[in-house]
Each structure stands twice: as C-alpha cells, then as structure tokens.
A and B are shown apart, each in its own frame.
Chain A
Amino acid sequence: MNLSTTINGVLFKNPVVAASGTFGFGEEYNELYDVSCLGGISSKGLTWIPKDGNEGIRVYETASGMMNSVGLQNPGVRAFVEEGAAKMRRFNTVLIANMGGSCIDDYVAGAELLSSADIDMLELNISCPNVKSGGMAFGLKADVAHEVVAAVRAVCTKPLIVKLSPNAENIVEMALACEAAGADSLSLVNTFQALAIDIHQRRPVFRNTYAGLSGAAIKPIALRMVHSVCKQVKVPVFGIGGITTAEDVLEFIMAGATAVQVGTANFSDPLAGQRIVRDLEALCDKEGISSWDEIRGCI
C-alpha cells in the first residue's frame, strides 16, 4: 500500500515522524540509518532566546517509560534559521521546526523568523511556562492557548501545528480553542507532568520537582485523548504518546490521527523509526488495509 499522507498540503511519504526533543535535528540518528526514510522530523524545541536547559538530573527511567526535564536546551531560533535548517534540509523528509516560548512576544518573534526559513511546517509547543503569568503553562487553559496561537497565526506563513499538553484542563476544549485560533493541525500529546522521589535522599529526583512522563506507559491515555479530540475537530491530528511499534501506529490512525510522532521509542531502540516504517508496510498488507482513509477514525 502507498503509505503517503498529506497534511495541510504537505506530502509525507509515510505517517511516521520523529518527535521533537528525542531526535535532535536528525544528524545523530542519520549516522545509524538514513533518516530520509521517515515521514518527517520535528526539530529539537527552539526558543527565541537560546537556552542552556535545566540543572541536575534530566532523564530518569520509570515503569514502561521515562521522565525528562531537559528544559528546552537549544541554540535559539536565529541560529537554527541561519545554520540548522539548511543542515536538516539535506534529509529528504518533511522538516518541522518545533518552537516554544516563555512569553507571547517571543513566540511571535520566533514564528516570524521561522516563516522566512526553509522549513515545511511550524509546530508550536504551548506546554512552556508563561513567565508573565506566574509560570503557568500556556497549554493549560483554553483562553490562554487561544491568545498565543492567534498571535502566532497572525505572523506565521507556514502550516501551523499546535502541540497540545495532556495536562490541559480539558483536552477537547483546548483542541477546539486552538483550531478556532487558526491552527492548521494539532499534535498530541506532549508529556504528562509527573513526579519521582528519591526516598534515600527524601527529595524529588528532578530539580524542578515535576518532570514530563513519556513512553509506553502513557500510550493508552494518549490514544484516548487523540480519539476524543479527533471526534470534535476538523483539522488533521498527529498522534503522539508511547508509539513503539507499527501496531501502535495503526491504533492511533484508527483513533483518528492522520500521522504519528515517535519519541521515547528512539531511546529504547535507536533504529525504531526505520523499523516502524518498514513494519508498517507489511502490517497494512497483512491487515488488508489499502488506504489510510479506510481506517482513519474508524473507532
């Protein structure tokens, strides 16, 4: 079967995209396999101001998953536009720039500059704390998210994906608010806010106390959220959350997603992206699937 799929006018050769934050800018994994086999790559999360990231432990294994608190260490939007984007363009795959921000002005400045860059899509990470409202994340309340998405939409000339946090008060309301504010597509979910405690030291494992949970452990919850959102929105959805196998990809597509992003699985198996793409073709044949339209949202 032809695995390709189109989202916001952008053609993906298959629906498997490397998730932001797990894949750098593709360079390292390209030493292990040709990352051009992927449907797309979402870049390391960029911010207007370059960031050093968080102090202390940044990654920690949990049951069937992991927690991270990397803190968006990145070279900044400008460095990406000047150097990083061209390097990523060497890969024959859809290039998605992922961007976060700590205030609306930064989001707007970043989106403006990225609109001039050689990228295919912009993915907006709204799970970042808003420093001007006491650090509460943009992605928790629908009205706050609407404001930042609308501001970015006004300046962004690329197809705009908004990446939703599963920590939102109501994920469906959040999705509808982002769609109404002009998102061309949605990706969900980002990591779940979680806690790990070092009982010997009697303190949190992470310096910031809470950190983001990802991996197979979150897959059924992510799938439920993708399903609920896809029932309500018209824009295409990238399903994310613990996708490790081709079977997982089909589950997300049956739940309504048009494409998926693979994150933590890259750590468990550095060839995960390539393996999932290969297995997906065989699996679709085995399951007698002849087009994505046949199964998308069938649940």
Chain B
Amino acid sequence: MTYFDSKVISNTPLTDEIYVLVAERHGADANAGQFFMLKAWDNELTLMRPISIFKAEEETLHFMYRVVGRGTRKLAELKAGDTISLLGSLGTGYPIAQMKGRVALVGGGLGIPPLCQTAKELTAHGVQTDVYLGYRDVLFAVEEFEPHSANIFVSTEKGDEGYRGFITDLLKPEQYDAVFTCGPEVMMRKVAAMCAAQHVPCWCSMEHRMACGIGACLGCSIRTADGMKRVCKDGPVFPANILFQENQ
C-alpha cells in the first residue's frame, strides 16, 4: 500500500455516465478484486473515493466508474496530464491462487469492471474462465474480456442486446469449481444462493461507503457469520457463506 501522486493518462467516457480513467501506476501493487482510494481535489471534498481496479497494466492503472455524485463528477472532469492522488492497492481481492479447473465470473452493472482484471489473472493462472455480464440496457467493456475468457454471456433487462432477462438465468453453477460475483447485492444474493444449492464455493465483492479505506476507522464494517468485517480491509471480497443469512 502506498499513497502517491500520479499523472492522468486519459479519462474517457464509455457511455453518458461511465468513464475509464487511466493513470500512471508507479509500481503500486494491484490485484484482482482490490481497489484504490482516489482524490482529485484539495479541500473541496473531505473523503477520498474507493474505485475498483478495472485493469492493472505494467505501467498504468485503469479505473472504471459511474458518475453518481460530487466525487465522481470531479473525477470525470480530469484531463490527460492532470494529477490524481492514489492510495492503494487496498483490500482483500479474489482468491486467484487457490483456484483450479473452471471458474465463472458473474458481474452486474458497475460490478463488471473488477471482473476484467480478475479474468485476466485467472486465465494467466491457467483457470478456464467463463464470464457472465448483466447490463440494464447499454453494454460496455465486453470486448475487454475477450482475451481473458473462454466464453462470454451477456444479458440486458429488456433484451436490447444478448439474452433478455437477468444474467443469473444463464448461470449453471454446477458446471464450475467456483463462482466469483460482483454487482448489485440482490444479484449477488441470487448467485450465492444458486451456488450454495449446488455446493459450489462462491465469493462476492461488497460495496460500502468508506472513510479511511485502510481498516482504521471502521466506517465500512458489515455484520457477517464470522463477526464484524471491514469491507475495505477484510474485503471487499468475502466468501459468500459468511455474508448472506439465507445461505448460512
């Protein structure tokens, strides 16, 4: 974990509200499912903003974010050459090293970006990786998964593209040795329940408001079957069997 100033390489809108920010990596660690705290302001805002790692390249870090409030609106104003402060990498990501055989990644909405780095690392680790991407209407980043996935399944709620309905309709957990999911909690609960029914291990990435991002303030603690856990430090990725009560 380091805190450093980095230069923005690019900051590109993918849709009306989703952007990809690319910044210099400066040798920082970055593993699948981890995140960074980002700051692109002096005193206008108090808290840094947690953003997951979309892609970690040799020299650059890529963050995909949706403009939802004041912080992300500030991020969207960044231009190439601007300076951004990065704190990371932070948190506990997906357990890539212990995986083997076939793994399914199930993402929904802005839960999709961290699965891109995850697919890359799993594939590099020799795991066959199938990707299930659920969108509301507009697709983004699907092509980013192509080099790192055996199969890619896509859904939209109204069937604008791909399967019409929820991405969980397409998932058959019994075909996999493990399932990793990231997205809206309702989707992750569904994935976790489907996996539990088939005795397939599942890991979920949780989202939470954070203040320090490093495990000190306990502002992002959640209740689990294994006691209170800090999303920023013990997570954001947790085994599903400690998260959702219906699966305990």
A residues with CB within 8 A of B: 21-24, 27-29, 31-32, 44, 52-53, 55, 57-62, 64-66, 68, 70, 73, 215-216, 244, 264, 266-268, 270-271
Contact = CB atoms under 8 A, between A and B. Distances in A.
Given A52-B228, A68-B217, 12 more contacts: A22-B211, A28-B233, A32-B2, A53-B218, A59-B217, A62-B46, A70-B221, A73-B228, A266-B216, A267-B46, A267-B48, A268-B39
Which of B3, B221, B228 lies at the interface centre, i.e. has the most chain A CB atoms within 10 A of its CB?
Answer: B221
24 contacts: A27-B216, A28-B214, A28-B215, A28-B216, A31-B1, A32-B2, A53-B221, A53-B228, A58-B209, A59-B47, A59-B217, A59-B219, A60-B209, A66-B46, A70-B218, A70-B221, A73-B228, A215-B46, A268-B39, A268-B45, A268-B47, A270-B3, A270-B37, A271-B3
Contact of B46 (A28, A29, A61): A61
Interface in B229-246: 233
B125 interface: no
Given A52-B223, A66-B211, A58 B218 contact: yes
Nearest to B214: A28
A54 to B, nearest CB: 9
Nearest to B37: A270
B1 A32 contact: yes
Contacts, number: 94
B221 A31 contact: no
Contacts of B210: 59
Contacts of B219: 58-59, 68, 70
A-B residue pairs, 3 tightest by C-beta: A59-B219, A24-B216, A28-B216
B87 interface: yes
Interface string B169-192: 000000000000000000000000
B43 A216 contact: yes
A272 B48 CA distance: 13
Contacts of A216: 43, 46
A29 B1 CA distance: 10
Given A32-B1, A32-B3, A270 B46 contact: no
Contacts of A29: 214, 216
A299 B210 CA distance: 38
B200 interface: no
B212 interface: yes
B156 to A, nearest CB: 25
A267 B221 CA distance: 16
